[in-house]
Structure formats: structure tokens, C-alpha cells
Amino acid sequence: MNMISEEVLALEPDIIAWRRHMHQNPELSFQEVHTTAYLTEELKKIPGLTLEFPTKTGVVAVLKGVQPGPVLALRADIDALPIQEETGLPYASTVPGVMHACGHDGHAAMQLAAAKLLAAERTSLRGEVRFLFQHAEELPPGGAVEMLKAGVMEGVDELYGMHLSSNFPTGTFGVRPGALTSATDRFDIRVIGKGGHSAFPETCVDPIVIAGEIVGALQTLVSRRIQAVEPAVVSVCMIHAGEAYNIIPGEVAITGSTRTFSKETRERLPKLMEELARGICAAHGADCDFKFTLGYASVMNDKALTASSRKVIEEHFGESAVLEIDPLMPGEDFSALQENCPGFFVELGARSEEKGITFPHHNCRYLMDEDALKYGVEYLYQLVRSRLSIS
């Protein structure tokens, strides 16, 4: 068991510095202009890399070995979230209302370090590595789709991704073959009633009462219409109606998300939802508009790549570093890049009870154990070497 190599340890101060710079200067999805410029500046310092700019934001660094071989793509996301940071860190976000609350700053820093380490060993590598610094993971339709359409995956044989996780302790890797993340989709239900004076509800068709019934009924779909062994979630997240305390509004807008894993459930659930919403509206004399928007598909871990990546983790960090994890309900647009390419996505633990680093992702007080960064860099470094080193 090798743990952390001298090469990675020597680079650790830079990794942390890169991460903290991006943490202080977060940018929202599709707006990562400064982040892309910063990464480009750092990548240009690394001999042997060719840079490409397939989309408005985001950058791809290409490293070619000295012999023909497989083409590997490594993907790191770079966007932040619309959250006001409340961590009190000395390097907290300087941008009001924007925060790296999901670890993407760490992802980009780790991949930048891996590019630097591997470029230094180019003469002992075959094939090609494409380092995808991808924009807009947080906002559907997502940046992965744009990069895919721009051709970044053409000729790629294997795809790898990683996510820092507040669910698992630092130094561990969450591994799962097959479906890793859920498909994340959006629904919009518009209940169209008849507004009027709150003193005369009998003259109205109250969409708020009807919407209440719909929200309650939606909760029974998973428990009573979907197989008990099939994971699924229906969450109502926004309800908008009315402008005055004494006026029954004419409409109510209900918005939320669904999380599914199987293709069959993903296709069936919106049909059940629409049937339910229209039925309740009709029973009260109201009309209903229903819209279902597909988001990210499930990340599917290729069994062969999962096995080979797990072997790398066990060899360098020990068998105890591998955690067998359950499917994850959050979505990931990494799945879009898997359209015609086998891939493997791993969860890297960055939680420390001892340090009080326990807040979840997408929280204004989210923290990351920076000790996790060296584990991620070591993993990427050894993973590529295991696949592309000239024997």
C-alpha cells in the first residue's frame, strides 16, 4: 500500500492554493469566465499540454503520450451555486450570493494537479488524456451536453469522473457498479381555477384548495403506484399563487423534481403524475396544464472500469479505503458524456467529524476537508498511469 506519493505531497500546497483562489472567486453556471481564464493561465504553465476551448466557458487540456494507445477523458466541473456563504473562512467567497458549496473548486484543483503530474511523465505514457474542465454542471441542461455536441468525446475510449462527498470520511472512496446517481427531472403543474372575493368562495373555483389536494396525492405515487423495491422520489419544491390576503387567485403554479433510476419508472412516473393532477382538477371543475422536462440521466458505472479503478484504489490506499455505497439520489450531468463511452464515477470522502466538517453540499456553511484533495490527485495520477504507462 503506497498511500500518497512524494510527487503529490510536493504539489499539495499548490493544490490548496488553486482551490482557495477558485473558492474566493466563484461563478454561476454558464458564467465561468474568470474561472476558465484562471485555469487556462495555470494550464499554459504546464509543458506538453494543448488547450482547446469547445464552449464559451470551460477548457479542455490534451496530453498526448509518445506512443499510440487508448484515449482517456477525465472530467472536473467548475461552476458554483447561488448561495450566500456563511462559513467565516478567511478565503470565503468574495462574490455576494455565490458560493462553491458543492466542491467543484476542489474538483478543478485536483484535475489541474493531475495534469501537471502526468505531463511531467509524458515520455513514459502512451495514448492520450483529455482533461475536461466542464462548465455548468449545476444548471440543466448542463454544460456536459454542450461539450458533447462540441465533439470533446470523439474517439474517447474511457471516461472518468469524481465528486468530493460530505457523506464519507476523508481518505475513503465510495464505489458502486451500475446505476450510481438518479435521473433528475422537473415537473410543472398549473392549476387553472376561477378567482374572486374571499368572502364568496362559492362563486370561485379555488385553485389553492385544489393544489393542496394535488400536493398531498403526489406523495402516494411512490408508496402506492411504484414497486417497493424501485427507488424513486417526488418532491414539490415551489408553489406560487395569489397577491392579496382577501382575493382567491385564479391560478396556482406547482413545481418540483423527480428522482428515478430505471428507464421504466422514469417513463411511467410522469404519466401517473399527469393523470392524478388532471383528475383532481377535473373533479373540482378546474383546468390543468402539465409539463415534464427531462434533466440528467443516471450515471451508469461500467463494470469493467469499476473493477479496474477499484483495484487502483485498493493497491494505493488499502482495501479499507473502498466503501460499497448505495445509489445516490442527487443527479450528475456526467451522464451526458457517457452517451457512447464507458465510464466510471467515484465518490471521494471529504468529511471530518474531528474537524467539524460535516455540513452537507448545497449548504451555506458547507466545508471541505482539504486533506481529501491529495487523495483525489493520487487516485487520478495512479489511475491514468495504470491505463497508459508504457510497460
Rounded average pLDDT over 318-324: 97
Which CATH number does the domain 6-181+298-388 belong to among 1.10.1660.10, 3.30.420.40, 3.40.630.10, 3.20.20.150?
3.40.630.10
- Whether 147 shows a pLDDT value over 60: the answer reads yes
Binding site membership: which residues?
Answer: 102, 104, 138, 163, 362
Banded pLDDT at 251 (limits 50, 70, 90): very high
Rounded average pLDDT over 310-316: 97
Task: Count CB neighbours of 175 within 10 A.
Answer: 22
Banded pLDDT at 276 (limits 50, 70, 90): very high
State the DSSP string of 110-136: HHHHHHHHHHTTGGGBEEEEEEEEE--
The residue with cell 458505472 is 301
Question: Which of 76, 63, 75 has the alpha carbon at shortest distance from 159?
Answer: 75
Q: State residue 391's pLDDT score.
A: 77
Rounded average pLDDT over 314-329: 96
Angle between helices 6-24 and 372-388 (to 10 degrees): 120
Look at the pTM and tell me if it is higher than 0.85. Answer: yes
Domain ranges of the chain: 6-181+298-388, 183-296
Report long-range pairs for 357-363 (Cβ below 8 Å, ≥24 apart): 357/166, 358/166, 359/166, 360/166, 360/167, 361/101, 361/102, 361/103, 361/165, 361/166, 361/330, 362/81, 362/83, 362/101, 362/102, 363/83, 363/101
Binding site membership for Mn(2+): which residues?
Answer: 102, 104, 138, 163, 362
Q: State residue 318's pLDDT score.
A: 96
Q: State residue 3's pLDDT score.
A: 87
Question: Which of 258, 262, 257 has the alpha carbon at shortest distance from 229?
Answer: 262
Rounded average pLDDT over 158-186: 97
Banded pLDDT at 1 (limits 50, 70, 90): low
- Whether 154 shows a pLDDT value over 60: the answer reads yes
- The CATH architecture to which 183-296 belongs is 2-Layer Sandwich (3.30)
Rounded average pLDDT over 304-332: 97
pLDDT single digits (tens) 79-92:
999 999 999 999 99
State the DSSP string of 193-205: -B-EETT-GGGSB
Task: Count CB neighbours of 381 within 10 A.
Answer: 25
pLDDT single digits (tens) 29-71:
999 999 999 999 999 999 999 999 999 999 999 999 999 999 9
Rounded average pLDDT over 291-303: 97
pLDDT single digits (tens) 11-27:
999 999 999 999 999 99
- Whether 257 shows a pLDDT value over 60: the answer reads yes
